[in-house]
Amino acid sequence: MTDPLLLAIDVGTTVLKVILFRPDGSSARVAQRATPLSSPRQGWVEMDMDGLWRLVADTTREVSRGYADRIATIAICGFSSGLFLVDADGRPVRPGIVWNDSRCASLIESWHRSGTMDRIFEISGSAIYPGFSLPLLNWIQSHEPASIARSAHFLACKDWLRLCLTDTVATDQTDASYFPYDVHARNHSRALLDLCGIGGLERLLPPIAESGALAGTLTTTAAERLGLAPEIPVVVGMCDFSSATYATGAVRPGQACTALGTACLNNLIMDSPASNPFGVGLTGATLDGRWLRTLSNTAGTVNIDWFANTFYGGASAQVINQITVDASSIPIGADGITYLPYISTAGVSAPFVHPHARGQFFGISSEHRRPQFARAVFEGVALSIRDAYEAMPVGVEEIRLVGGGAGNEFWCQMIADCTGRTVLVPNVTYASGWGVARLAAEFICADTDDQRNSAACTVRRYESDRRRTAAYVEVFALYKEISAAGVELWTRRARTFEKILDIG
| 452: confidence class by pLDDT, cuts 50, 70, 90 | very low
Q: Is there a shared CATH topology between the 5-241 domain and the 302-397+465-503 domain?
A: yes
Superfamily of domain 302-397+465-503: ATPase, nucleotide binding domain (3.30.420.40)
Confidence of residue 457 (pLDDT cuts 50, 70, 90): low
**Confidence at 25, pLDDT banded by 50, 70, 90:** confident
Residue 113 has pLDDT above 70, yes or no: yes
Where are the domains positioned within the chain?
Answer: 5-241, 302-397+465-503
Contacts of 32 (CB under 8 A, 6+ apart): 15, 16, 17, 18, 59
pLDDT for 453 equals 47
User: Averaged over 114-133, what is the pLDDT?
Assistant: 94
Determine the pLDDT at residue 189: 97
Q: Which residues of 217-246 are buried (b: 16+ CB within 10 A; e: fewer)?
A: bbbeebbebbebeeebbbbbbbbbbbbbbb
Rounded Cα gap, residues 147 and 275, in angstroms: 35
In this prediction the pTM is: 0.83
Q: Give the pLDDT confidence score for residue 448 in this predicted structure.
A: 44
CA pair distance 133, 247, nearest whole angstrom: 26
On whether the CB atoms of residues 178 and 134 are closer than 8 A, the answer is no
**Looking at residues 244-255, what average pLDDT do you find?**
88
Rounded distance between C-alpha atoms, residue 382 and residue 412, angstroms: 9
Distance of CA 336 to the CA centre of its chain: 31
Q: From the CB of residue 290, how many other CB atoms can be counted at a distance below 10 Å?
A: 16
Q: Given 3-state DSSP classes, what are the helix, strand and coil percentages for the chain, each rounded to the nearest 5?
A: 45, 20, 35
Q: H/E/C letters for each residue in 231-277?
A: CCEEECCEEHHHHHHHHCCCCCCCCEEEEECCCEEEEEEECCCCCCC
443 has a pLDDT exceeding 80: no
Question: Which pLDDT score, from 0 to 100, does residue 296 have?
Answer: 84
| Alpha-helical segments (H) within 125-219 | 133-143, 145-150, 157-166, 173-176, 190-195
CA 263 – CA 310 distance, rounded (Å): 19
Query: Which tens digits make up the pLDDT trace of 167-208?
Result: 999 999 999 999 999 999 999 999 999 999 999 999 999 999
What percent of the chain clears pLDDT 70, i.e. is strictly above it?
A: 96
Give the model's pLDDT for residue 456. 56
pLDDT(445) > 90: no
- Calpha distance 400→269 (Å, rounded): 12
Instruction: Check residue 148 and give its pLDDT.
Output: 97
Average the pLDDT over 454-461 and give the result.
Answer: 70
Report, as an integer, the average pLDDT of 427-446.
84
pLDDT at 80: 93
pLDDT band at 504 (very low <50, low <70, confident <90, very high): low
Q: Which of 292, 169, 308 is nearest to 242 (CA)?
A: 292
* Superfamily of 5-241 according to CATH: ATPase, nucleotide binding domain (3.30.420.40)
In this prediction, residue 253 carries a pLDDT of 87
Which of 212, 225, 267 minimizes the C-alpha distance to 435?
212
Render pLDDT for 72-102 as a digit per residue (tens, 0 to 9): 999 999 999 999 999 999 999 999 999 989 9
pLDDT at position 451 is 46
**Predicted confidence (pLDDT) per residue in 398-421, tens digit:** 999 998 899 999 999 999 999 999
DSSP 400: E
What integer pLDDT is reported at residue 370 of this predicted model?
A: 97
Based on C-alpha coordinates, what's the Rg of the chain? 22
Please choose, from the candidates 400, 411, 402, the residue with its C-alpha nearest in 3D space to the C-alpha of residue 430.
402
User: What is the model's pLDDT at position 246?
Assistant: 92
Task: Kindly report the average pLDDT of the chain as a whole number.
Answer: 93
Average the pLDDT over each of 6-20, 45-59, 286-300, 312-326 and give the range with the smallest value.
Answer: 286-300
Q: Which pLDDT band holds residue 261 (cuts at 50, 70, 90)?
A: confident
pLDDT class for 427, splitting at 50, 70, 90?
Answer: confident
For range 10-29, the mean pLDDT: 92
- A 10 A CB-CB count for 68 gives 18
What is the Cα–Cα distance from 333 to 29, expressed in whole angstroms? Answer: 41
Tell me how far apart the alpha carbons of residues 138 and 135 are, in angstroms, rounded to a whole number.
5
- Tell me the percentage of the chain whose pLDDT exceeds 90: 80
